């Protein structure tokens, strides 16, 4: 890259923020990577009459992004499919959510011109106008209103995001609506999206709709999917990255695309500032520091609370780190023996393991620590998991920055892809 003036640099940094977007879900097919199996499942359900969908998984795993690109991914004649998307919030009710959905669907009616009997005019109103004809709004009323617009050849896809924010009673009514729409074979596909590891948590008892509900679990992304995110962004930016730097970003992301975007953004901005066309291994160090500053405020707060804030010398940061790197089952649960907490280690990262059950209990029951872990199972057989899995990469990145990740552990996390100059010694804050 030739010497850039400030204006050009600013423009390039702006472009970095578009190619890597940690703050926003993806909304174009070009930037949407991987997830082929999940996307296929959703598209198949849309095509099948009477089928509805639940998309669920950890926070920040890419649920909204998948929903955003559906419209572009539907290959059928778009004139025949209308996609409506709404977000729920904690104050919403069944009715308020439907009011929002229906207000986005326009319905044309014809009326005879007052002056000329032969003249028919058309007027478009939102379907929500029909709500006023009903005293109460339940699944039957919603079905009737939707039937006005849908037909054999016209389908409406309704995506309801942040569904976990609704009260349980309200959620139950959506399950009833799905049953009703399915029983009457209305040409509508409801897609429910929410944070959950288990769909029972999201929609409660759902045996009556099990047959018509396609469950799409969004697991953390694979390494090759995360690499595709970096490759695509850099292609857009016309930049390159050293192989090891790419591996480190992918390893630290632990399957969460949010961190791939965050670290990718900070690393590319660093390279641009150095007038380089290639993200180099040493840019990762800056990316780590900057990404900690710019990580989601809620994640930072949760960490500080659990780790004893800024107090030095407590064991919690190291224990959280051991939890974040513990082997888990498919739902993210680990047991106390999985937590390899070694307070004193040699240069190979080896040392005696110390039992930390007591700390795990406090992290899951002591409110003053913010309940970063959730506990399940019976006494003495407890298992734990992070309430918000998105915090795991943060804990690791923070551990690297603070120098509490041993070189051996870091090599392990990154499968020996850590460039020699990105090890612990680079992060001078160790104490
Ligand atoms: N398939 C993908 N390809 C590229 N980037 C992705 C993909 N999925 C998600 N991302 C990126 O990951 C981040 C989180 O994505 P998104 O907001 O879709 O997750 P979410 O599961 O809806 O999160 P939340 O639970 O907080 O609502 C965003 O920066 C988004 O750009
Ligand atoms: Mg989302």
CB 249 within 8 A of CB 260: yes
Among protein residues, the one whose CA lies closest to atom 30 of ligand 1? 25
Please give the distance, rounded to the nearest whole angstrom, from the Cα atom of residue 417 to the centre of ligand 1.
25
Give distance in angstroms: CA of 212 to centre of ligand 2: 24
Whether the predicted pLDDT of 376 surpasses 60: yes
Q: With contact defined as beta carbons under 8 Å apart, do 46 and 157 qualify?
A: yes
Query: H-type helices in 331-406, by residue range?
Result: 357-365, 391-401
Which uninterrupted H or E stretch holds 52? strand 52-57
Burial class (CB in 10 A: 0-12, 13-18, 19+), 32: buried
DSSP class of residue 364 equals H
- Write the pLDDT tens digit of every residue in 166-189: 999 999 999 999 999 999 999 999
Handedness of CA 128, 42, 258, 238 (dihedral sign): negative
Q: What is the pLDDT of residues 266-314, one digit of tens each?
A: 999 999 999 999 999 889 888 988 999 988 899 999 999 999 866 666 8
Q: Write out pLDDT tens, residues 39-91.
A: 999 999 998 889 999 999 999 999 999 999 998 888 655 668 999 999 999 99
Closest ligand 1 atom, CA of 67? 18
DSSP character at residue 4: P
Q: With contact defined as beta carbons under 8 Å apart, do 319 and 307 qualify?
A: no
Which residue's CA is the nearest one to ligand 1's atom 7?
A: 62
Q: Which letter does DSSP use for residue 31 in this model?
A: T
* Continuous segment of H or E residues that includes residue 202: helix 199-203
Strands (E), 152-262: 155-161, 188-195, 213-218, 240-241
Ligand 1, CB within 6 Å, residue ranges: 21-22, 25-26, 31-35, 59-65, 195, 229, 257-258, 261
Calculate how far, in angstroms, residue 33's C-alpha sits from the geometric centre of ligand 1.
Answer: 10
- List the beta bridge partners of residue 120: 112
For 387, the token pair is 């309430």
């Amino acid at each position: 890259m030739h010497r850039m003036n400030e204006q050009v640099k600013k423009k390039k940094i702006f472009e970095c923020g578009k190619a890597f977007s940690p703050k926003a879900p993806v909304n174009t097919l070009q930037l949407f990577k991987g997830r082929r199996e999940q996307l296929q499942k959703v598209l198949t359900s849309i095509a099948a009459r009477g089928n509805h969908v639940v998309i669920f998984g950890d926070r920040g795993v890419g649920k909204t992004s998948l929903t955003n690109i559906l419209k572009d991914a539907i290959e059928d004649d778009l004139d025949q499919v209308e996609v409506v998307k709404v977000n729920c919030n904690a104050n919403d009710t069944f009715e308020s959510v439907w009011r929002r959905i229906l207000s986005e669907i326009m319905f044309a009616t014809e009326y005879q011109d007052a002056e000329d009997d032969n003249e028919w005019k058309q007027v478009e109103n939102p379907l929500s106008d029909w709500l006023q004809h009903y005293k109460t709004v339940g699944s039957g009323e919603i079905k009737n209103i939707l039937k006005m617009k849908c037909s054999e050849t016209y389908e409406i896809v309704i995506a309801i995001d942040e569904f976990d924010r609704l009260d349980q009673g309200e959620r139950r009514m959506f399950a009833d609506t799905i049953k009703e729409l399915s029983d009457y074979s209305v040409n509508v596909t409801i897609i429910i999206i929410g944070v959950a590891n288990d769909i029972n948590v999201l929609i409660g008892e759902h045996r009556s709709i099990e047959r018509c509900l396609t469950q799409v679990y969004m697991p953390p992304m694979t390494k090759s999917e995360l690499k595709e995110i970096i490759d695509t962004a850099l292609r857009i930016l016309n930049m390159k990255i050293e192989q090891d730097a790419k591996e480190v970003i992918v390893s630290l992301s632990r399957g969460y695309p949010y961190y791939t975007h965050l670290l990718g953004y900070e690393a590319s901005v660093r390279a641009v500032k150095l007038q380089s066309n290639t993200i180099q291994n040493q840019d990762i160090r800056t990316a780590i520091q900057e990404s900690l500053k710019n990580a989601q405020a809620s994640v930072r707060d949760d960490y500080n609370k659990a780790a004893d804030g800024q107090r030095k010398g407590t064991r919690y940061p190291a224990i959280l780190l051991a939890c974040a790197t513990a082997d888990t089952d498919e739902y993210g649960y680990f047991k106390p023996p999985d937590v390899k907490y070694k307070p004193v280690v040699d240069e190979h990262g080896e040392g005696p393991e110390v039992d930390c059950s007591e700390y795990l209990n406090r992290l899951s029951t002591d409110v003053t620590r913010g309940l970063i872990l959730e506990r399940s199972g019976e006494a003495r057989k407890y298992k734990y998991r992070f309430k918000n899995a998105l915090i795991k990469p943060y804990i690791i990145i923070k551990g690297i920055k603070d120098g509490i990740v041993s070189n051996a552990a870091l090599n392990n996390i990154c499968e020996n892809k850590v460039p020699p100059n990105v090890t612990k010694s680079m992060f001078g804050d160790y104490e």
